[in-house]
Copies of this chain bind each other. A is one copy, B any other.
């Protein structure tokens, strides 16, 4: 038995859209899938388009299915085997699958969905294939269990064709990447920021990461971690630019430490980051900024502080997808995305952070501290030294 197809489903989020949007998203998803297949050097004959489904004809069905679980917009995939929709052929292939994949003494069920005109009903397929399997594989001592079977053979009849499969891999769902505008993502080298970026990517937004290099207050390891997490994020965005901005921020941090109240260092530093990110957002014609902040996770992330941070810029929204997440939920997601290992490696951490950071920074005091500095000039100086890398 050689699997020769992959069934790609995108019913979930895309399926509930209006006709026009649905078609546009479907088309975009197809482009993203083709780029992914090319990237992974998958050889395929054709892609058949049906309502809520693509059928990819390839001899590399299992590997391909696995790769496609990481394409945004796909709700699930199944490596499958194609036959004609003649009942006898369906029965023959079904028995073949059962013979090769069912262990002895297992319980099983047959499930069937059908579109098109046929001399049989879906129920006929289930009943006949079930009977044929029992009769053909007596030595296996199988039994039918419709409610909680250990093994399932699924049959999808589509006009002249039929697809049989026994395995369904769950995809990440969401919207195809590129169906929404770009966002600028603040990437720190830690665990939160890549998860935040990934969540908006899942909703269709390509993310251009920006890393603020705080050397000498952090170390090279932090920079490397940020680059590695960016690379992992780009693996979820095959076919999209792999561009990252690196902003030298150590000078600014030095100025804050020397000239401003100690307790405000982190707030001032973050406001500077937001301002620089806003300029990059403009330049990139992106629609906003995404950060990894979560309420109360760090001293700088109280609601009062988030409010003071937000007021640093006015032109673009700050999106914080992790705002309501618990730490453990972030960790679980980081593992799924693949950034957990990298982002939890030991690094120096920012030594500019004060022992007692302000947890309820007052906007007036922050603005007063900023008035004593030439924020505009500091920003311009950093922007001149920005590096843009292609990872």
Contact = CB atoms under 8 A, between A and B. Distances in A.
Nearest to A302: B180
B200 A323 contact: yes
A220 interface: no
Contacts of A319: 306, 320, 323
A77 to B, nearest CB: 16
A16 to B, nearest CB: 7
Given A303-B287, A314-B314, A317-B310, A327 B12 contact: yes
Contacts of A173: 326, 328
Interface string A297-338: 000001110110011001011111101111110000000000
A151 interface: no
A274 B324 CA distance: 20
A296 interface: yes
Closest 3 CB pairs of A and B: A199-B324, A321-B324, A203-B295
Interface of A: 12-13, 16, 173-175, 179-181, 183, 196, 199-200, 202-205, 287-288, 294-296, 302-304, 306-307, 310-311, 314, 316-321, 323-328
A324 B179 CA distance: 14
B174 A326 contact: yes
Contacts of A202: 324, 326
A248 to B, nearest CB: 28
Contacts of A328: 12-13, 173
B12 A303 contact: no
A253 to B, nearest CB: 22
Nearest to A202: B324
B326 A303 contact: no
Contacts of A180: 295-296, 302-303
A304 B320 CA distance: 16
| Chain A contact residues, majority secondary structure | loop
Given A324-B196, A326-B174, A295 B16 contact: no
A323 B199 contact: yes
The count of identical subunits is 2
A288 B306 contact: yes
A204 B302 CA distance: 10
B323 A181 contact: no
Contact of A304 (B181, B200, B310, B327): B181
Contacts of A321: 323-324
A326 B333 CA distance: 14
A258 B13 CA distance: 34
Nearest to A195: B324
Contact of A16 (B203, B320, B327): B327
Nearest to A359: B21
Given A296-B179, A303-B183, A324 B203 contact: yes
Given A180-B303, A205-B295, 13 more contacts: A13-B326, A16-B327, A175-B295, A180-B295, A180-B296, A200-B324, A203-B294, A204-B296, A287-B304, A288-B307, A314-B314, A317-B318, A321-B324
A306 B200 CA distance: 14
8 contacts: A12-B326, A12-B328, A180-B295, A199-B324, A205-B303, A287-B306, A311-B314, A319-B320
Nearest to A328: B12
Nearest to A197: B324
Given A205-B295, A295-B204, A181 B327 contact: no
B317 A307 contact: yes
A295 B178 CA distance: 12
